[in-house]
A and B are shown apart, each in its own frame.
Chain A
Amino acid sequence: AQSVAQPEDQVNVAEGNPLTVKCTYSVSGNPYLFWYVQYPNRGLQFLLKYITGDNLVKGSYGFEAEFNKSQTSFHLKKPSALVSDSALYFCAVRAGTYKYIFGTGTRLKVLA
């Protein structure tokens, strides 16, 4: 079965420190992977995606993600966290034609 997992419900990090939000996936074929961010009472906003090419993908707001095929992971990273990065982060994978599966979300809290 195709799936995506975000093992951490919440991640706390101090402002200025690097952050990592984890995502692992299970799909048949080549994975199409996405990260989205959701701020309170807002819709999801696209951050970055991996379809093919370099394993390190750069996205919006200084975020990047590393695709690791052997570990079936697509972790979201940022070198220096900001308080304004505090939000709910979703990993998603294409699970078929016109179908996407989202992870359960990870709440990132950046402490001043």
Chain B
Amino acid sequence: DTAVSQTPKYLVTQMGNDKSIKCEQNLGHDTMYWYKQDSKKFLKIMFSYNNKELIINETVPNRFSPKSPDKAHLNLHINSLELGDSAVYFCASSPDWNTEAFFGQGTRLTVV
């Protein structure tokens, strides 16, 4: 069983479209994250959630809206996609905010 799973794995879409990425973890963790990895492999945190509540929004544009319907899921919706949104997006989870994170395999988003 995959611990942290993201869908889709690849996403190609046109500028201006709206898209969603889904994330589920079966580890029973309380904390979930979204990270963005750019073309230079720089990894930056976008959002942190704990027990479905938003804790960190790291100056991400309002076009990005995370949603956590329950503790095991953290989805990412992106409105009005821009070329600069092209990146690999990683979902991760951890038992709490002091421990290591378990990462999904990533979603490669390409905006054309």
Chain A interface main SS type: strand
Q: Please state if A44 and B90 are interface contacts (CB–CB under 8 Å).
A: yes
Q: Please state if A45 and B97 are interface contacts (CB–CB under 8 Å).
A: no
User: Which of B42, B56, B105 lies in contact with A99, CB distance below 8 A?
Assistant: B56
Q: Please state if B55 and A97 are interface contacts (CB–CB under 8 Å).
A: yes
Chain A 12-36 interface residues, beta-carbon cutoff 8 Å to B: 32, 34, 36
Count of residues in B whose CB is under 8 Å from the partner chain: 25
Size bracket, chain A contacts:
20 to 34
- Most A C-beta atoms less than 10 A away, residue of B31, B100, B101, B106: B100
Interface residues of A (CB under 8 A from B): 32, 34, 36, 38, 41-46, 49, 51, 88, 90, 94, 97-102, 104-105
Interface residues of B (CB under 8 A from A): 4, 31, 40-45, 48, 50, 55-56, 58, 90, 92, 97-106
